[in-house]
């Protein structure tokens, strides 16, 4: 190998290393602090993972936030797949109930007060 080839490979390696370090550090500072619940594409509300609470979603689904995790604890759909899905926490993720068009997804940033609409009132 020539000296120029070695310099090129070293430069590419150094660039890749710096990029990997930057992406790793950015990922550590991004924290999931809330979950957003949507029903049929309409946002029901954004709820803090720090506050333990039970949220009724329509007439058939119940979401529970406890110990920094959100999970679907009850649903009246026939397959119960949303109840069997793993909890959403600070690592992200989502829970989907297709029959009721409910999506619970982790969102980063500051949490907001729950929004009240026709579905939750």
**Greater model confidence, 49 or 109:** 49
Quote the mean pLDDT of the chain.
83
Average pLDDT over residues 87-105: 90
Spatial separation of the C-alpha atoms in residues 56 and 53, rounded to whole Å: 10
Express each pLDDT in 3-61 by its tens digit: 888 899 999 999 999 988 887 776 655 566 899 999 989 999 999 998 899 999 988 89
In the chain, what's the furthest Cα-to-Cα distance?
73
pTM: 0.63
Please report which confidence band the pLDDT of residue 113 belongs to, taking 50, 70 and 90 as the band edges: very low
And the tokens for 9?
């490979």
What number of other Cβ atoms are within 10 A of residue 49's Cβ?
A: 22
Asked whether residue 72 carries a pLDDT value surpassing 90, the answer given is yes
Local structure of 121: helix, strand or coil = coil
Could you tell me which of 79, 85, 35, 76 has the C-alpha nearest to residue 55? 35
Q: Are 111 and 45 in contact (CB under 8 A)?
A: no
- The predicted pLDDT at position 92 comes to 84
Question: 53: which strand partners?
Answer: 65
**Residue 114: band (very low, low, confident or very high) from pLDDT cuts 50, 70, 90:** very low
């Amino acid at each position: 190998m020539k000296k120029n080839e070695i310099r090129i490979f070293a430069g590419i390696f150094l660039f890749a290393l710096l990029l990997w370090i930057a992406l790793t550090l950015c990922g550590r500072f991004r924290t999931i602090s809330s979950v957003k619940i949507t029903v049929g594409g309409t946002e029901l509300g954004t709820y803090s993972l720090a506050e333990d609470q039970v949220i009724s979603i329509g007439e058939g689904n119940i979401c529970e936030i406890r110990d920094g995790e959100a999970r679907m604890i009850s649903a009246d759909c026939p397959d119960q797949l949303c109840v069997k899905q793993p909890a959403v926490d600070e690592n992200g993720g989502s829970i989907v109930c297709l029959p009721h068009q409910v999506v619970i997804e982790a969102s980063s940033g500051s949490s907001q007060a729950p929004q009240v609409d026709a579905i939750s009132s």
